[in-house]
Chains A and B, each alone.
Chain A
Amino acid sequence: MTEPLPGNSSPRHPAVRTEDVWKIFEQEPEDVPAVRGVTLTIEPGEFVAMAGPSGSGKTTLLNLIGGLTRPTRGKVWVAGRDVTAMSNRELARLRLEHVGFVFQAYNLLPVLTALENAEFPLLLRGMDDAERAKRVGPLFERTGLEGLEDRRPGKLSGGQQQRVAVIRAVAGSPALVLADEPTANLDSVASEQLLEMMEELNHGLGTTFVFATHDPRVMEMSHRLIRLVDGAVASDEPREPHPPR
């Protein structure tokens, strides 16, 4: 393992804290509660899986934590900051500096190369070439993507695209990486490579990872498994992680 990069996780604050968070979607004929009164705390450096069947509220809870959607009621803090009280501009800044996202698919901007995609948040922060190279270069090397830097997403496999997305998510040393079904579109080999990579980054960089998943491999690797049923926490247990098979 190469030298870890400094993380943004603050030991003084939980990486994530939610307090009685609700998200109700207004629909006809009746409103649909996607998240119902979720209260939880995720400490810095945790590797957490939120599992549950489709419609259980995993993605919505992830979006609430990342400030992509606002709760109907309740509070969310990320790295000690009250996400629910932030303006859109402040939320954008929070995501840029403290939160990395990995989505299920279509993670990369098609007009940028793999390297430019990975560097995107750093470019947005105005980081100079040398600093960006120092941060992203080793990650390409560490994740086996060396030599593919100049390829556009269309010329990368699904697994390679997801790895670029993970590099992008962690390159800025965020407090938190939110991954929504990152392995759902990958074959088993690519999934395992991706999970190994994320676990390594979790160990190496101390980055907090929170997954929304129903992939058993992700659950097996997690240190803590939160099960959601109908938008509420059904169970929340620490577990002994198993390395991917």
Chain B
Amino acid sequence: MTARINLMIRLALRNLLRQVRRSILTALALIIGGALLMFSVSLGDGTHEDWIESAVRMGSGHIALQAPGFYQSRKIDDRLSEQARRAAEEALRSLEVARHVVNAVPRLTTDGLASSPNGARPAQIMGVDPVAEVGYSILDDKLAEGRYLESDDRLAAYVGTGLAEALQLRVGARLVVTAQDSDGEIAGQLVRVVGIFKSGVPEIDQAVIHIPLTTAGSWLGVGDDITTLAVLLDSSYRMSEVTSVLRRLLAGPIGDGELALLGWREAMPELDAAVKVDNLGNYMFQGVTFGIIALAIVNTILMAVLHRRREFGLLQAMGLSPRETGALVLIEGVILTALSGLVGIGLGIFVTWLFWRNGLDISFTWDADWSFSGVVLDPIIVPMFRLSRIAQGLVFILFIGAIASLYPAYRAARIDVAEAMKFDR
């Protein structure tokens, strides 16, 4: 059996080399398709990772560890218990998880009201650790005026441009934040604006206020308690792996109803949907592209099969079974596809690498900040390399090659040997 397979592979290779021009033309379609596939997938992954990175850094991380009811209620009553927080911090320090965690920051978040002598606006007030937050959030980089919070700040606030404009706030201006405290009473806290940011996301710029975590704790009467432990991972693709480890390590507090794990997909369903829709669009485009390529392959291989009818007749006359004759055509198709796929994907990686260094700048296509679902779109797209995508690309191209070779293989297998060997043919 091995000898037969070796022989068929040898025959297939020589047949491919016999019609070099035809093989190269067929291969070219696959090479270009493979390169396009690799480039577009890497670009798509890079774009999505950028969206997710932007959203999770401005939001509650790739994974948010919270009390079970907090996501719905947004009330400080639903804050993490001391025991649950300790368990969560310990789990984050475990080797399996820590190697993928870039940062984990505590937050005390509540919905409330921000008011100034010029009016009042609903606000999302976040008590943050200023030092930890700098390594986590990108809001401190979006400074429009003043500065970000510092470790020794007490009655300081960092507000968005939208809110600052609505309440006519400038750096140094006073602002009162009001929310329900731990006793259920409405409590106010006077703070002074130390900085104003412009994230580019209207929902954030009009609502988010950062104040020091200690200030928030004493204002709301919760001491050192927090509502969220926001976890930033090295890649969004690690989420399911890390989540499953965390679920295992935190099975106790989760089972006791003291802790819930919220992934960015659940926390930001609109973003999740946007990524899925964009992926679907990409897959459909790639499907259509490869559908056309597959038709070209079918046509070329089928022409080759019809041209070589006598040869297939001869092979069967010598003892190759119809199935093996079909397999020979399939092997030719798969070898051609595999080699072309490798070259195409290599080319795609090279092109992607060219753009990976500096990113693909598409800023010429827009003249204002674009944002959606809490994400600011970056006009410089940096493609993302993933080994799994290379493997998927190769398997996909091989699959297309095999499918495209099936019909020609069937025709070769079904050849009428006596008819094929007629001399006048």
Interchain nearest-CB distance for B261 vs A (Å) = 57
Decide: B11 and A106 in contact? CB cutoff 8 A: no
Decide: A63 and B319 in contact? CB cutoff 8 A: no
Decide: B14 and A111 in contact? CB cutoff 8 A: yes
Decide: B322 and A123 in contact? CB cutoff 8 A: no
Tell me if B314 is interfacial: C-beta within 8 Å of chain A. yes
Decide: B423 and A104 in contact? CB cutoff 8 A: yes
Interchain nearest-CB distance for B43 vs A (Å) = 41
Decide: B314 and A106 in contact? CB cutoff 8 A: yes
Please, which residues of chain A bring their CB within 8 A of the CB of B357?
A: none
With A69-B418, A105-B423, A112-B14: A92-B1 Cβ-Cβ less than 8 Å = no
Tell me if B300 is interfacial: C-beta within 8 Å of chain A. no
Q: Which of B1, B314, B324, B422 counts the most chain A CB atoms within 10 A? A: B314
Q: Which of B1, B7, B317, B416 contacts A123 (CB 8 A)?
A: B7
Assembly CA distance A110 to B3 (angstroms): 20
Interchain nearest-CB distance for A50 vs B (Å) = 16
Q: Which of A12-20, A94-102, A193-201 lines the interface with chain B?
A: A94-102
- Would you list which residues of chain B between 1 and 41 have a CB under 8 Å from chain A? 1-4, 7, 11, 14-15, 17-18
Q: Which of A60, A92, A104, A121 counts the most chain B CB atoms within 10 A? A: A92
- Would you list which residues of chain A between 84 and 123 have a CB under 8 Å from chain B? 88-89, 92-93, 95-97, 101, 103-107, 109-112, 120-121, 123
Give B420's nearest chain A residue, CB to CB: A68
Tell me if B310 is interfacial: C-beta within 8 Å of chain A. yes
Please, which residues of chain A bring their CB within 8 A of the CB of B317?
A: 66, 68, 95, 101, 103
Decide: B7 and A111 in contact? CB cutoff 8 A: no
Decide: B418 and A92 in contact? CB cutoff 8 A: no
Tell me if A36 is interfacial: C-beta within 8 Å of chain B. no
Please, which residues of chain A bring their CB within 8 A of the CB of B318?
A: 95-96, 101, 120-121, 124, 168
Tell me if A147 is interfacial: C-beta within 8 Å of chain B. no
Q: Which of A97, A127, A184 contacts B319 (CB 8 A)?
A: A97
Tell me if B155 is interfacial: C-beta within 8 Å of chain A. no
Decide: A88 and B3 in contact? CB cutoff 8 A: no
Assembly CA distance A103 to B423 (angstroms): 8
Decide: A92 and B320 in contact? CB cutoff 8 A: yes
Decide: A88 and B322 in contact? CB cutoff 8 A: yes
Q: A111-B14, A123-B3, A168-B318 are in contact. List 13 more A-B contacts (CB 8 A).
A: A59-B418, A68-B418, A69-B417, A69-B418, A88-B321, A93-B319, A95-B316, A95-B317, A101-B318, A104-B423, A109-B315, A124-B7, A126-B3
Can you report 30 A-B residue pairs in the complex whose CB atoms are below 8 A from each other? A60-B418, A63-B417, A66-B317, A68-B316, A68-B317, A68-B421, A69-B416, A88-B321, A88-B322, A89-B321, A92-B321, A92-B324, A93-B321, A96-B318, A96-B319, A101-B318, A106-B311, A110-B311, A111-B11, A111-B17, A111-B18, A120-B7, A120-B318, A121-B318, A124-B7, A124-B318, A124-B319, A124-B320, A126-B3, A168-B318
